[in-house]
Chain A
């Protein structure tokens, strides 16, 4: 940045660059608004919302409970394998492995496990536990880095390693770790519901059917229940009750078939092989024509699906990132009590709860009716959901900001006094969230937006697992690339100027 415009501070610069990139992406994206008369369908939807039917869904209580129980067991599973891994996360390979696991959406993990374990609860629980574990490993590692060194240094010389570790490190970060687990549990509830979309017996099973088939009275009721479930976590999810819940969850799991080793073997030895290699038992069968077929297959998947899919995924995710930024900055300002007053801020907080609870899929669904089948509905859905989530996390901080004596309770006061204090954190959350946005683009693939998720979904529905898996590998690569770049950028950021100028 030349000296002449040095009044543009670090965060202004970052923000402007973000918007510039997003603007370019937006221009290249398919954002055509095609909608002639969505009103009759919209009217049906609003009618449904006005008169929700809570009795239309069969086995509703069971679905509610299974949503909770999959989430609980999934988070527990994630903690069991992810927490210890946090200690080894400085290892480059472990970090990369975790990034690969995280980069695949829960739905696709579930679709893989579906081939191996079938419609068993194990499928759903592992689909949560695996990516969540990888996330725990990364986040706990980051949190542990922040624990102060001084305690360890002042411990007596012969203190054993375990005490050293627990007293010197863990005890310092217990509060943020517990807070993070609580937050992830909320995420797991959403994931658990979303897994219903592909057949797990959670709320999503009925929610997706109701919306897809236009039973809006039922859909609205399920949505309201789901929002209430997430909004009331603090009331029903007491630390003391968790053990009881866990035991109950284990005992009320739907019945499972035993794990069939032959299915696992078949998946690994046949299903994931490209068509050209299926039926090949030893290397001598690998002749030129087969290799040729293999190359052609790889080429066609890569150039016809992976490359266009990646492009759309990136365009969508980057545009959505900038839109999330706008949503989060605006909504966190509106929700600031000392700016907008008590009543208004409470209303906005309720709105934040609703926006962050509703699965993106439902938003995209509604916007698609209003705006037509371009990428715009997906962008808006991602922006509203993630923007609301970031705003929710930001206002936790802004509530504790102490105003200076010049604070005047107006928007200029907010921008001068409060925003600079919360902005670095907000941007940190936003960039952190980019990984999630990138992964969530997958779900719009199932609604027809041609992201990588679209092609992966097609691979599964055409029973071409090798194609789906190759595309998943591309997804993982893309995510690792993005992760590497963002780490690089963030490192520079933290070194130069975290504080606002």
Chain B
């Protein structure tokens, strides 16, 4: 299969990999606005480089599952994961640890939104969603898929696929807003922060779409680091890394995630997420 080219590529790749051997690499997908990823996160890389004294590189990825794969294959040693992807990653790489989460991630929420024609009245009680059309966000999202699916099943007492007339996966929180606003789906569930930003920026017509239910809080995004970074980058590296993340106070850097600040976290914080994922059958 293209032996010649394979040989050339292997040769090239072995050269490049020996040059970049001890680069600390991380990845991150923000929950809002994925434009200019590299430009924004290379600043974070620069900050970490300054704090840690090792070369730090940012790798852009497209999806949570790609981030998990990169983490599992040791192509990144640190990742900014969603709740679910963090759990998946830590299950695949034993010894890896959640070390910090966003301030907001301690009490994260999903919002259920509905098109006005669905005539669902906002309430503190879980709405009766039987027979409506519904869209989740991306398949691997915590606030757009996992938690909403869990709340639906717990409150309505049956599997999501038996509740709705039609289920979709919009692929993205802002898509969920757009699809509910256009009436393509009557109801959708999404990350509360994305909704609030959209309302603030006026990119959603609140006469057409309303929040009909706010979920209870749960833990979400977090920084997870692989085991063995101390061996590669020196004793106490993990500790210094954690400190550097917690100390990050430059508003420009924090805006990339976007979070107010980072606070300590550990694996136990995410046990509820893991249990929920098991309950709805997303992990075995």
A interface with B by C-beta (< 8 Å): 34-38, 40-41, 56-59, 73, 76-78, 80-81, 114-115, 118-122, 125-126, 129-130, 133, 197-199, 201, 205, 208-210, 212-215, 218, 250, 253, 255-260, 263, 275, 368-369, 372-373, 446-448, 457-458, 460-463
Contact = CB atoms under 8 A, between A and B. Distances in A.
A80 B4 CA distance: 8
B240 interface: no
A309 B37 CA distance: 35
Given A214-B178, A255-B20, A463-B88, A120 B184 contact: no
B258 interface: no
A460 B88 CA distance: 12
Contacts of A80: 2-5
A372 B60 CA distance: 31
B268 interface: no
A257 B65 contact: no
Contacts of B8: 250
Contact of A256 (B3, B16, B37, B117): B16
Contacts of A197: 62
Contacts of A119: 59, 61, 66, 70, 75
Contacts of A260: 73
B88 A118 contact: no
Contacts of A59: 38
Interface residues of B, number: 65
Interface string B1-33: 111110011101110111010000000000001
B181 interface: yes
A210 B174 CA distance: 11
Given A59-B38, A210-B35, A373-B168, A198 B62 contact: yes
Contacts of A209: 34-35, 62
11 contacts: A36-B183, A56-B35, A57-B35, A78-B2, A121-B9, A129-B2, A198-B66, A199-B61, A257-B13, A257-B17, A373-B185
Given A37-B182, A38-B182, A369-B182, A199 B171 contact: no
Interface of B: 1-5, 8-10, 12-14, 16-18, 20, 33-39, 59-66, 68-70, 73, 75, 88, 92, 115, 117, 133, 135, 138-140, 166, 168-172, 174-175, 178-179, 181-185, 203, 205, 208, 282-284
A41 B184 CA distance: 12
A456 to B, nearest CB: 12
B140 A461 contact: yes
Contact of A133 (B1, B18, B283): B1
Given A250-B8, A373-B179, A214 B184 contact: no
Contacts of A212: 171-172, 174-175
B178 A199 contact: no
A369 B139 contact: no
A375 B89 CA distance: 34
B141 to A, nearest CB: 10
Given A119-B75, A210-B35, A461-B139, A256 B70 contact: no
B9 A457 contact: no
A369 B38 CA distance: 30
Contact of B14 (A57, A126, A258): A258
Listed from nearest, the 8 A-B pairs whose CB atoms lie closest are A36-B183, A256-B13, A77-B2, A199-B62, A258-B17, A38-B182, A255-B16, A461-B139
A58 to B, nearest CB: 5
Nearest to B198: A214
A96 to B, nearest CB: 17
